[in-house]
Amino acid sequence: MLVSILIFLLVLSVLVLVHEFGHFWVARKNGILVEEFGFGLPPRVFGIRRGETLYSINLLPFGGFVRLHGEQEENGILYPKAAFVNKSKRVRISVIVAGVIMNFLLAVVSFAIVYSFQGIPRDLGKVKIVDVSAGTPAQVAGLIVGDFIKSADKKEFTKVEDFINYVDTKKSQKVALVIEREISGTKSDIKLTITPRENPPAGEGPLGVTITTSEVYFAPIWQRPFYGMYYGTKDSLGWIGKIWQGLSGIAKDASHGVAPKDVAGPVGIFALIYEILKTGDILVLINIIGILSINLVVLNILPFPALDGGRLLFILIEGVIGRKVLPKVEGAIHAAGMAILLILIVLITFSDVRKLISAGSISAFLQNLGK
């Protein structure tokens, strides 16, 4: 349990620090004074100043923050040329967006690592037999592992579901198969006849085979990072779409007065990490880091006060009205937004704890979340 807590805090810290490093790096590149880069959340335990920036270690050991000179207020600015508030809209937007971009890149790298070790799923474009059960119509007909089903009754299939549905309509009837089989390095077409069973045993289909239309491809080692980055990017973009769909569903439920059921907070994330660590599969944990990082991308870009999206919204308003929103007004709105977010986190945490106690175990709690 102690190890799980430490790993949980480490995961959260990596997610947040990567995000904050994006703000830090782009701010420095654009001549903005970074007053403090903190690990953890205040109160401060100690700090070391390097150049203009104080690098601090804080009491609450998760997350982090970057404090920019003149981030919200024009008062108290000692170095006007190095103040965030005095920079152009382009520079301020780039600083704000940098955090989201870093989280996206973290997700891509996380997924790329997983693909590099687990292989790349590749579509075969045809049905492949990966297992044949003993005493089944498939074995009697002469099908073997590695065969490709080119056609059934002269119909070609590229999806598992389509082939299964067709076989279900042909129970107790003869089906003419054309099989592609590799013999001594040479591919040959073989014609077979098979009769799907009407009432197959539990766990077996009418034919008694396990089929797939994809395989795991292991590229040469030097190519794996490139394949990993490509598929990692595709996965990251795919997860953005899924999370947007989930948020839309939550918003729809909320508009109808229905409390969200599939939302988890820090307790839910800890429970997930705890279960993953029990398996000892580090790649699953890395994959979860990627998914959580994409969650931060989507949530942070929402146009809500205190989030990056909220700060972008004020810059866009500035572009429309031709002048900046009063810093005190913007600061007050962001403070109110932060208060709302903290309240939501507390409520979600309370709900998670209640569900965890009701479930009686972390495993049961996670199963209930997945329903």
The phi-psi region of residue 134 (left if phi > 0; otherwise alpha if psi is between -120 and 50; otherwise beta) is: beta
**Cα 301 to Cα 14, 210, 357, distances in angstroms:** 19, 44, 33
Token pair of 200 as six digits: 């197959």
Q: What is the pLDDT of residue 74?
A: 62
Nearest-angstrom CA–CA distance, 321 and 111 = 42
Nearest-angstrom CA–CA distance, 203 and 325 = 65
Q: Return the bridge partners of 210, or none.
A: 131
pLDDT score of 261 more than 70: no
Pick the residue with more confidence: 291 or 4? 291
Token pair of 44 as six digits: 């401060």
Nearest-angstrom CA–CA distance, 70 and 34 = 10
Count of beta carbons in the 10 Å neighbourhood of residue 28: 18
Q: Of 116, 117, 149, 120, give the one whose Cα is nearest residue 132.
A: 149
Q: Of 263, 261, 262, 271, give the one whose Cα is nearest residue 357.
A: 271
Give the mean pLDDT of 286-301. 94
Structure confidence by residue, pLDDT tens digits, 80-109: 899 998 899 999 999 999 999 999 999 999
- Residue bearing tokens 């050991």: 61
Q: State if pTM tops 0.85.
A: no
Contacts 24+ apart (CB under 8 A), 357-360: none
121-217: CATH topology is Pdz3 Domain (2.30.42)
Pick the residue with more confidence: 352 or 293? 293
What 3-state class would DSSP assign to 38?
strand
- Residue bearing tokens 């923050």: 65
Q: What is the pLDDT of residue 169?
A: 93
**Cα 195 to Cα 21, 192, 212, distances in angstroms:** 63, 10, 20
Largest Cα–Cα distance in the chain?
87
Confidence class of residue 170 from pLDDT cuts 50, 70 and 90? very high
Q: H helices within the chain, ranges in order?
A: 2-29, 89-118, 137-141, 160-168, 224-255, 266-279, 282-301, 308-321, 327-359, 362-369
Structure confidence by residue, pLDDT tens digits, 343-366: 888 888 888 888 888 877 777 777
Nearest-angstrom CA–CA distance, 331 and 76 = 14
Nearest-angstrom CA–CA distance, 107 and 233 = 8
Structure confidence by residue, pLDDT tens digits, 30-78: 999 999 999 887 889 999 999 899 999 888 776 788 999 988 666 678 8
Q: Return the bridge partners of 321, or none.
A: none
Q: Where are the domains of the chain?
A: 2-119+224-369, 121-217
Q: What is the pLDDT of residue 35?
A: 93
Q: Of 271, 291, 345, give the one whose Cα is nearest residue 7.
A: 271
Burial class (CB in 10 A: 0-12, 13-18, 19+), 357: exposed
Structure confidence by residue, pLDDT tens digits, 174-185: 999 999 998 888
**Are 167 and 152 spatial neighbours (Cβ–Cβ below 8 Å)?**
yes
Confidence class of residue 267 from pLDDT cuts 50, 70 and 90? confident
Q: What is the pLDDT of residue 254?
A: 65
How much of the chain, in percent, has pLDDT values that exceed 90?
A: 52
Q: What is the pLDDT of residue 139?
A: 94
Structure confidence by residue, pLDDT tens digits, 120-164: 888 888 999 999 999 999 999 999 999 999 999 999 999 999 999
